[in-house]
Amino acid sequence: MKRFWIVASVLIACAAAIGFTSRAENTNIKGDYVEVRTASLFAGACHFNGEVVTAGREAIMAWSFSTGTWNGTSLTGVRAIAVVSSDENLSNQGAARRSEVILDQSASHDQKVAILEALKSRYAATLGEIISVRSAPISFRHEGKSYEVNSAEAAINVEAMPNDLCCKMPNLVWYDPLVQLGQRKVGYTVKALYSGHEMSDAWERDGENSAFYGSFAF
């Protein structure tokens, strides 16, 4: 009987250690994030109603990891992009989604595996069915309140709205970001484009309040 309790205690301790190690290997993951949608996020009611059914079905999402590890692999300095498409406005969380994921070409093999696993784990519902994963150079520049992201077939150029109007008039912000953000702001899209063909037809947007930006952590 005494031997049984000794063995049981050892197994419990091992299980606890494994659980602790697993949690410890996925820690302190944070960085900058920006997304652009194919609909205005900050607009008057008439403008919103004119788009909610016919637009807003696509988005470009971009992450720049500043710190963190996933399954023991450092994600520091790694960047990733996801292009998401749906048959309905992305505010409809029940609608089927498809996505293409672009991984930073400068990342190591282990980092690419880790970042893809992290995105699948944390944003499965947001990304939906991932139909394509590829590697390409990604530049992610965040200076002050401006963001510029460039990669093959996907690009974002976003600036802050004048006088942070999205904070002063929150009743005119009609959507939520596709991921949870700290210090969420609506941005002005100078230009955003997707020229690939994996997801949908190529598209381009400019001159509208169609971006969210902020910090992410998980």
Q: What is the CATH number of domain 28-217?
A: 2.40.400
Lowest mean pLDDT among 4-8, 149-153, 191-195: 4-8
The pLDDT tens digits for 57-114 are: 999 999 999 999 999 999 999 999 999 999 999 999 899 999 999 999 999 999 999 9
Strand duo 208-217 + 27-37: pairing: antiparallel
Task: Give CA–CA dist 121/22, Å, rounded.
Answer: 14
Q: Return the domain boundaries, the chain.
A: 28-217
Residue 4 in this model has a pLDDT that exceeds 70: no
Q: What average pLDDT does the segment 41-63 reach?
A: 85
The mean predicted confidence, pLDDT, of the chain is 87
Q: Of 12 and 68, which is predicted with more confidence?
A: 68
Per-residue confidence band for 165, with pLDDT thresholds at 50, 70 and 90: low
- pLDDT of 166 reads 55
- pLDDT of 180 reads 95
- pLDDT of 1 reads 47
- pLDDT of 168 reads 53
Task: Give CA–CA dist 44/193, Å, rounded.
Answer: 24
Task: Give CA–CA dist 17/23, Å, rounded.
Answer: 10
